[in-house]
Structure 1
Amino acid sequence: MPDRPLSDLESVILGCVAVSGPATAYAVRRMFLDSPSARFSGSAGAIYPALRRLEQRRLVRSAATPTGARPARAYSITPAGRRELRAWLQTPLTPEAGFADDPLRTRMLFLSALSPAARRTWLDEAEACIRAQTGLVDDHDAAHSDDPWMTLAHDNTRRLNRARLRWIAEARKLISGS
């Protein structure tokens, strides 16, 4: 297999396997599906091929595991996989990382194309979405309160969402002219 850098999805899967211990592909998939983040697809068409690529590169290994009627394989991280994960974690972020895909920010750029009433409606819906996302993060945190790093990551989401709500309040002032 070519010596190319891992994709972000592959790196995140490697991290999931490292943190969870031996995990079936289905268990890794559940981690994505249960996450409040929609950044990565939890589809079988994304997770299973990525795990195969990681195994081909000897970053994870699998072993048959009894799981019931269907045969399954449990994946665990290899020493090479741990080195790769550490290298990914220690790679400095670029300034572009702060401009991750943000549909809220992108759409805000073009709100002038809407009437003031439509802008208010859009802001109401954006606020409701942010509050719902915060609720999902709180629920996920409650179910995983034993993981301080996940709690810290979720705290970042809550803080960003509070800043977004203040930002939406500023946009409302702009619409009302005050």
Structure 2
Amino acid sequence: MAETATLPARRSPLDGVWTPGDHGAVGPGGPGVTMTRRLGLSAVQLDARAGTADAVRHAIAAALGVALPAAGHATSGGDVRALWLGPDRWLLMAADGFGLEPKLRDAAGPAGGIVVDQGHGRAILRLEGPAVRDVLAKGTGVDLHPRAFAEHAVAQTGLFHLTATLDRRRGTGRFDVHVMRGFAVSLFESLCEAAAEYGYRLV
């Protein structure tokens, strides 16, 4: 009987530096920022070959129940979240047990889509709290005011001199920050330094 290859379990690049608890100048009202590692997520990049974007959109909507977003936005549908990364390019995410990559290959491949697993190459942090926009504003030139960066807005930007993706979730103080795995510790350290004056909690 042929053996089935098993991929190694994903480990967070922040395992060695993540110390749960409150840090910095936490006031009586609690920390200004709470950080959580988004673990157990599959992340898959989807590209549409030239001239196939509409067919890929229809195939993904029919198979996964999520509409691929327009420029600068994210969408959620069913168990899947999709982020716009560039022209005819998206990042889709779901819980590991969902089987995202094979479902995407089955749906998008015949329509002209190219699927690339990104789960081992990315780190995702969720930042929330009343001081989140102030902390992120120290490292990016993107206007994060709710009128300019609404719910489900997405931006590819420099963040503390690193390339990152900002995904604003529901509520004025909740963002997911995506960075390539090799830069995760550097970004984390910069975020901690920027958040220290408000106090921050690592969950």
Select the structure that is richer in helix. Answer: 1
Asked which structure has the greater RCO (Cα within 8 Å, sep 6+), the reply is 2
Range into which the TM-score falls when normalised by the shorter chain:
under 0.3
Select the structure that is richer in strand. Answer: 2
**Structure 2 length normalisation: TM-score?**
0.24
